[in-house]
Amino acid sequence: MKTVIYEDPVQCRDVWEKTWPVNAIFDLWQVRSCFNDSFSRPLFFHTVEQNGKILGFLPLCWNEESDNYILFPGETWNGKSWLEQNRLIAANPEVVHTLLDSVSKPLHLRYLTWTPLLNCVDNTRQDEVGYLFFPGIFNHSFENYRLSFSGKSRKKLKNELNRLQAFEVSFRFNHKKDLTRLFRMNIESFCENSYFNDPRFYQSFERLAAFLWDMGMLRITTVLIGGEIAAVDMGAIFKNTYTLLAGGTNPEFPGVAKLINLHHLEWSCRKRFDSVDFLCGDFNWKKRFHLTPRPLYEIKTDKKMPFWGTDTHEKNAACA
C-alpha cells in the first residue's frame, strides 16, 4: 500500500467522484464546492492506494486560521466546520491507520457518520446530535404523527398556533428574493453568532441556492402573517430526503418557528419523503417534536501521534 496526497483541484474532484458515495445532499461535489469556492482553503486529499485501487480516502483542507486540517470543503463558523454527513472511508482497520498516520499536522474531523471503523481510532468521541423525521413511521400520515403527542401537548400547541392564525396566515414558495430576507432575519436574531455574519458563509449559501435552483432541488418556504414576512426557510430535496439548511424568523411573531416546522412535517408526509433532516443544532423543539436523534462523531488530535492504541489486534477485532 502507498499513500498519495492530491492537491490539484481537477485531480481532487476526480478522486472525490470516484470514491465518495453519493447518498445525501452534502455528498455532491458541486454542493461542497459552493463553500470551498468562498473559503478558498488549500486542498490535501489523502488516499491509500494499492494496485491502482483506492482503499482509503480522507479529503482535507488546511485551515490557516486554526492551524489544522479539516474536512473538505473547509467551511468554518466560529472556528468549527458546519457541513454534515461526513465519512471515514477505508477498506479495513489497517487502511484507517495508514490513512490517518499520513496526516502530519493537527487534525479535526467533525460530523462523522457512524461506522465500526471509528472504533479503531482512540481520538474518536461523540460530536453533536442531528435530528430527523421519518414520515414512514407514521404511515405518511400527519394526523398519526399529531396523535403521537399527549392530549395536553396537542391542546397547548393548538392554542399557540390559533393565536397566529387570527392574523391571517398564508404560505408562499420558491420566491428567490425571500432568501435575502432569510439571511437578514437570521443576522438580526443571532447577531455575531449568525452563520451569515461571515461574508464567506453568506456567499457560500448564495452559491448553494443558485446551484440548487438550477437543479430543481431548492425549496424556499415563506410564512406571511397579515401580509408581512414572518419566517423563511431554505431546504433541499435530494434522493427523497428533504434537508432543512437555514432559516430566519421575525421576532414580532412569536411561535412562527413552530408553525413553519409543522408545515415541513405535514408536507413531507404528503410528499411521502423517506426522511426530513433538520441537521444538528441544540434547539429544544427538536426533542419536543419527537424527532429521531442521530449522534455524529469527531476525531481530533492536537499533535502528531498514533491514532490507535498499543494493542492493534484488539482494535482490529473491535472494528470487525
| Per-state percent for the chain, helix, strand, coil, to nearest 5 | 40, 30, 30
Of residues 117, 75, 76, the one with CA closest to residue 95 = 117
DSSP strand pairing (169-173 vs 124-133): unpaired
How far apart, in whole angstroms, are the C-alpha atoms of residue 215 and residue 7?
A: 28
Return the pLDDT at 160.
Answer: 83
Fold of 135-273: Aminopeptidase (3.40.630)
Looking at the chain, the domain(s) classified CATH 3.40.630.30 span 135-273
193 residue type, one letter: N
DSSP strand pairing (68-71 vs 53-63): antiparallel
Return the pLDDT at 228.
Answer: 96
The domain 2-129+296-319 is placed in CATH, from the list 3.10.450, 3.90.105, 3.40.630, 2.40.128, at 3.40.630
Instruction: Give, for all 320 residues of the chain, the pLDDT tens digit.
Output: 999 999 999 999 999 999 999 999 999 999 999 999 999 999 999 999 999 999 999 999 999 999 999 999 999 988 889 999 999 999 999 999 999 999 999 999 999 999 999 999 999 999 999 999 999 999 999 999 999 999 999 998 888 888 887 789 999 999 999 999 999 999 999 999 899 999 999 999 999 999 999 999 999 999 999 999 999 999 999 999 999 999 999 999 999 999 999 999 999 999 999 999 999 986 788 989 999 999 999 999 875 545 544 344 444 444 55
